[in-house]
Structures are given as structure tokens and as C-alpha cells.
């Protein structure tokens, strides 16, 4: 079976959905290919409510056809080959991982684009912050970001946020008041969730389940733009997994082969192909498409596909405050500390972004359920148990430091041919390690966390041992001006394939410390012009 399109977009997360919308609005015949199923929001909410532990994936059923990695099973989906297990996950379903993202919509800072020239580390991006800034504004409008215009958080702005900020929580204000005389500036976090109603979407009701699911869609997810693309006559193929990119000898992509969950197969023949399948699935598909003409895989003459895998390895710390701060209410995080993201010593010490959690100890300890269990095992019952539970949970606090990880060629995604999915794709194999730059960041973060806890006033504190995955999968098909050292150019066009584009965090040359979704969106919007221009080539 052959399906014909002007633009084929593989993946329906934020990058693919925005690109599809742009192309369809210009009259292109668009096909969106999504390996996973559509999600029933109500059923997913029920699944989450009954789940324990409540992981980022717990709202979503595992599909036999297209399984996804799970936070509490790091060796089940990935073939872990390195000294440190890679802990970040993603979803394979319509809307992608925007279903279980937190919603933080933060820009990179200008220095993040110039790590090599400013600090002698990593590489520079082929574009500057100034180049991307207008597209950040457009991305904020598309995602309907709520933010505070009184502080640019180190990223100069040319337009205001489209919505006023989400209110800081009582807990945020306790942190802000305790840290006001210090170097730690507690600021509202820009968020892709509605602070007031928009269209048929309500404002945030503080359901406290942003990870893994917003029950009312006040938080942005990419199904919003998938639906808009469909209203513009884009065709959505669900349960349809791309498993081979078919190229001519001259590099032009002529078709993409697929298999459906029912076992049927076919091709999409498209004038332009856009792979928007995240930082693991994008290199996985490219490497699995090796042929006689391209023996190392599609877009891989530089041997950079799959290399330079990055995350924002997290140092997680938590404490028991002396006074009630009333967590477990509202979005998972509504404030952060952004003024350590671009200090002058980044050549030696990683930048840090501190995220203040509203969700108490649920991340480090699966509280409050674990707190109730521990108190009961300690012999408490009835009113005494209820009183102790109320007292302890009212004082749970946590902070997470997102660290900057440098791109290492050895940190990479490859294929494990010993295990092949029903899709025909080999299991992704990951070699992952943390270098001394990141290890120093953890030590620095622990010191900073203890300083903050002392100022807030705590009875005890704890540090999670080992890096926690941030869910920010970046760098495995990076952009650059030199085809010998990168996979795509500054317009996200594959160097060796004129009608192939890669959109998503896989193209990031470096990662900074900002949650990547807003940058993914801005880059996808910017690349849409080049995608449309390629239709006339």
C-alpha cells in the first residue's frame, strides 16, 4: 500500500504537531504518522488514580506493538550498556510525551548557544539566541504560555507572555521569604498551562497531577495542534510505525516504509519527510534504515547519529521543614531559581537550574502514601495516625537541581539487534556515563540545597544518591554548519538528504539547563519555513 503526501511527519509530539499545523495551513497535503494509539483522557486519569507507584508513565497502558520506557524499570525497555543507566523516558502515543510533561516553558539563555566560544566546552550552536528569539515568542503564543513580564529570567524578550503568570503557591512564598536576602531569587516559572480560560480549555484548577496527566487539559499537550492540523485536512495515521527510510543513491528520500499494529505494511511516498520522533526514536529509525547506499544509516555520513546523548541529570534533595508549608497542591512546580543558569565560571562548574516542588516527597519517596505506611508500621492508628500524617505531610519540601551535561561522543544510542519489536525496529541500546563536569555539579548542588534548607528552616534533609532522569532527551542528531561533525544544518535539514528534516531535542548541540520543550517548539516553527520551501525544490 502506498500513501502519497506533500509532507510526511513522523511523530505527533509538540515538534511534529506544530510542523504539521504550519504545513497544512499553507495548503500542503500532510500525513502525520504516529506509532502509538490515541489516548482516552478519562481512562488515563482513572488508571493514574489507581496506580502505585505513581510514575510519569502510570496513566498510560503499555502497548504490545509500541512499548515505552518506564521510570521504575530502567532496564526493561533500553538495553543499558554504560556505567550509568539512562533514566529518562518518553511516551509513544498521539501527543507524545507532552501528555506527561510538567509544563515548564522556559527559554534557553543566550550563553547556552555559545558554550565553545565563551567557555571552551562542547560546541556552539549554528544559530544564536537572537536568531531564535522571535520564534520563542511565536512558540509561547502557540503553547499559550503563562509568565511574569517583570523578569526575563536572563533571556531577553521582544514580546510579552500571552497569559499572566500562574500564581505562586503558599510553599513558593515560604521559600521566597526565607531566601529573599540571599543569592537565590525565587521567581514564577513560565508554564504552558492556562492561567485563564482560552477557547474550550479551562484555566488550571490545581489538580496536582500535571505529571502524568492534566485531567482537564489546562496544561498544553500536542493533541491540541494535532487536532488543528486535522481540521486543515492533515491525515493522522495511528498505530502506524515507520521502520525504514528509503533513499535514492543521490540521497533524496523517496518513501518511508511502515507497519501497522494489525501487521499490514506499506509506504508513504512524500516530497518532504520530517522526523519528529524524539531523541531516542529519531536516531533509532535513522540507524535502522541502513542500506547499500547508506551503510551507516540515513543522515549518518558524519557518524554523529545517536552520539552526544544528553539529559539534565538531576540532583534531588528533600527535607522536613520546621513549620507547615502545605505542599501537595497545584501544579508540580510553579517557581524556580533561574539566576545560576549562566554564571561566568561555566568553564569549570555546570550551570544549575533549581526547581522548587509543590508535590512534597512524592518524587523521592512516593509520598504521601509512603508516609502513611511508615507511620502505620511505627504503630500509629486512628486519630493518632491521622494527626501525625497531617503534621508530617504539611512540612514536606523538595528541590531539584537540573545540571548541564556536556555532549560526549561516547554517550550514544545504538541498536540491539538481539531484541526486535513487533514494529521491526531493534531495541534501542544506550551507552551513558556522567563525566567529572556533571559529578562536580552534583556536589555543588548538594551544597546549595543544604544552604537553602538552612535558610528555610528544616529538622532534617536527605539527598538522593545517583542522577535522576529529567526526561529531557537531547543531542543525538545535532545541528551544525559542518556536515562532518553534525547531522542537520541550522534549518534542521539533513546534510546528505535535501528533503529530510529532523525536528525535536535530538538536534540540540548543547543542552543548557532549561526544560527543552519551548526550545523544541521554537525550532520546529523556525524550520517550518524551510520545510515548505523544500516543496518547490
Architecture per CATH, 2-534: 3-Layer(bba) Sandwich (3.50)
Instruction: Give the percent of the chain with pLDDT over 90.
Output: 99
pLDDT at 154: 97
Sequence-ordered list of residues with C-beta below 8 angstroms from that of 507, at least 6 positions apart, any chain: 477, 478, 479, 487, 488, 492, 523
Look up the pTM and report it: 0.98
Domains of the chain, residue spans: 2-534
Given a contact cutoff of 8 angstroms between Cβ atoms, the answer to whether 498 and 251 are in contact is: yes
pLDDT at 1: 80
Mean pLDDT (whole number) for 191-199: 98
pLDDT at 161: 98
Indicate if the pLDDT at residue 353 is higher than 90: yes
Q: What tens digit of pLDDT does each residue of 19-51 get?
A: 999 999 999 999 999 999 999 999 999 999 999
Q: What tens digit of pLDDT does each residue of 511-533 get?
A: 999 999 999 999 999 999 999 99
Q: Residue 463 catalytic? A: no
Q: At 102, which helix (H) or strand (E)?
A: none
pLDDT at 462: 98
Given a contact cutoff of 8 angstroms between Cβ atoms, the answer to whether 156 and 133 are in contact is: yes
Phi first, then psi, for residue 522 (nearest 5°) are -65, -45
Q: What tens digit of pLDDT does each residue of 328-338 get?
A: 999 999 999 99
Q: What tens digit of pLDDT does each residue of 119-160 get?
A: 999 999 999 999 999 999 999 999 999 999 999 999 999 999
Given a contact cutoff of 8 angstroms between Cβ atoms, the answer to whether 139 and 171 are in contact is: no
Query: Which of 52 and 164 is assigned the larger pLDDT?
Result: 164
Q: What tens digit of pLDDT does each residue of 157-175 get?
A: 999 999 999 999 999 999 9
Indicate if the pLDDT at residue 537 is higher than 90: no
pLDDT at 468: 97
Mean pLDDT score of the chain? 97
Indicate if the pLDDT at residue 52 is higher than 90: no
Give the span between the Cα atoms of 314 and 405, in whole angstroms.
10
Question: Pick from 222, 229, 212: which is nearest to 45 by CA?
Answer: 212
Indicate if the pLDDT at residue 472 is higher than 90: yes
Q: Is 8 left (phi over 0), alpha (psi -120 to 50) or beta?
A: beta
Q: What tens digit of pLDDT does each residue of 309-324 get?
A: 999 999 999 999 999 9
Indicate if the pLDDT at residue 112 is higher than 90: yes
Question: Pick from 120, 65, 132: which is nearest to 93 by CA?
Answer: 65
Mean pLDDT (whole number) for 184-208: 97
pLDDT at 53: 87
Task: Name the active-site residue from 100, 472, 495, 497.
Answer: 472
Amino acid at each position: 500500500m502506498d500513501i502519497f503526501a506533500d509532507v510526511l511527519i513522523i511523530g505527533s509530539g509538540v515538534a511534529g504537531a506544530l510542523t504539521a499545523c504550519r504545513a497544512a495551513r499553507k495548503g500542503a497535503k500532510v500525513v502525520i504518522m504516529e506509532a502509538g494509539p490515541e489516548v482516552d483522557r478519562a481512562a488515563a486519569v482513572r488508571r493514574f488514580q489507581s496506580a502505585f507507584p505513581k510514575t510519569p508513565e502510570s496513566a498510560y497502558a503499555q502497548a504490545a506493538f509500541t512499548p515505552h520506557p518506564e521510570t521504575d524499570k530502567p532496564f526493561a525497555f533500553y538495553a543499558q550498556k554504560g556505567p550509568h543507566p539512562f533514566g529518562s523516558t518518553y511516551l509513544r502515543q498521539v501527543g507524545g510525551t507532552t501528555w506527561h510533561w510538567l509544563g515548564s516553558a522556559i527559554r534557553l539563555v543566550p550563553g547556552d548557544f555559545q558554550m565553545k566560544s565563551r567557555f571552551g566546552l562542547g560546541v556552539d550552536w549554528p544559530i544564536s539566541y537572537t536568531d531564535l528569539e522571535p520564534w520563542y515568542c511565536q512558540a509561547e503564543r502557540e503553547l499559550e504560555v503563562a509568565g511574569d513580564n517583570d523578569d526575563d529570567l536572563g533571556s531577553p524578550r521582544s514580546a510579552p507572555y500571552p497569559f499572566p503568570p500562574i500564581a505562586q503557591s503558599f510553599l513558593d512564598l515560604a521559600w521566597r521569604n526565607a531566601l529573599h536576602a540571599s543569592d537565590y531569587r525565587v521567581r514564577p516559572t513560565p508554564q504552558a498551562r492556562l492561567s485563564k480560560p482560552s477557547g474550550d480549555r479551562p484555566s488550571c484548577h490545581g489538580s496536582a497531577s500535571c505529571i502524568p496527566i492534566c485531567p482537564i487539559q489546562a496544561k498544553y499537550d500536542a493533541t491540541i495542534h494535532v487536532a488543528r492540523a486535522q481540521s486543515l485536512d492533515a491525515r493522522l495515521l495511528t498505530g502506524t510505525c515507520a521502520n525504514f527510510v528509503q533513499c535514492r543513491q543521490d540521497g533524496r528520500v523517496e518513501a518511508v516504509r511502515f507497519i501497522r499494529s494489525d501487521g499490514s505494511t506499506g509506504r508513504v511516498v512524500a516530497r518532504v519527510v520530517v522526523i519528529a520522533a524524539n531523541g531516542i526514536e529519531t536516531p533509532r529509525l535513522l540507524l535502522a534504515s541502513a542500506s547499500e547506499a547508506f551503510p551507516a544509516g540515513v543522515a549518518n555520513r558524519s557518524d554523529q547519529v545517536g552520539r552526544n546523548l544528553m539529559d539534565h541529570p538531576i540532583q534531588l534533595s528533600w527535607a522536613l521543614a520546621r513549620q507547615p508549608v502545605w505542599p501537595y497542591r497545584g501544579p508540580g512546580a510553579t517557581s524556580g531559581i533561574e539566576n545560576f543558569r549562566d554564571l561566568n565560571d561555566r568553564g569549570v562548574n555546570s550551570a544549575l537550574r533549581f526547581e522548587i516542588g509543590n508535590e512534597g516527597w512524592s518524587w523521592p519517596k512516593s509520598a504521601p502514601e509512603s508516609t502513611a505506611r511508615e507511620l502505620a508500621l511505627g504503630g500509629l492508628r486512628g486519630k493518632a495516625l491521622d494527626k501525625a500524617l497531617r503534621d508530617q505531610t504539611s512540612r514536606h519540601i523538595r528541590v531539584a537541581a537540573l545540571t548541564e551535561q556536556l555532549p560526549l561522543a561516547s554517550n550514544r544510542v545504538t541498536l540491539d539487534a538481539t531484541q526486535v519489536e513487533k514494529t521491526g525496529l531493534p531495541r534501542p541500546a544506550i551507552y551513558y556515563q556522567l563525566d567529572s563536569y556533571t559529578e562536580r555539579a552534583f556536589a555543588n548542588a548538594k551544597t546549595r540545597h543544604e544552604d537553602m534548607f538552612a535558610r528555610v528552616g528544616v529538622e532534617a534533609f536527605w539527598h538522593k544518591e545517583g542522577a535522576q532522569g529529567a526526561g529531557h532527551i537531547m543531542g543525538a542528531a545535532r545541528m551544525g554548519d559542518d556536515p562532518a561533525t553534525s547531522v542537520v544544518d541550522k534549518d534542521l535539514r539533513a546534510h546528505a538528504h535535501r528533503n529530510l528534516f529532523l525536528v525535536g531535542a535530538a538536534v540540540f548541540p548543547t543542552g543548557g539547563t532549561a526544560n527543552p520543550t519551548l526550545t523544541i517548539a521554537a525550532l520546529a516553527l523556525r524550520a517550518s519555513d524551510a520545510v515548505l520551501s523544500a516543496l518547490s525544490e
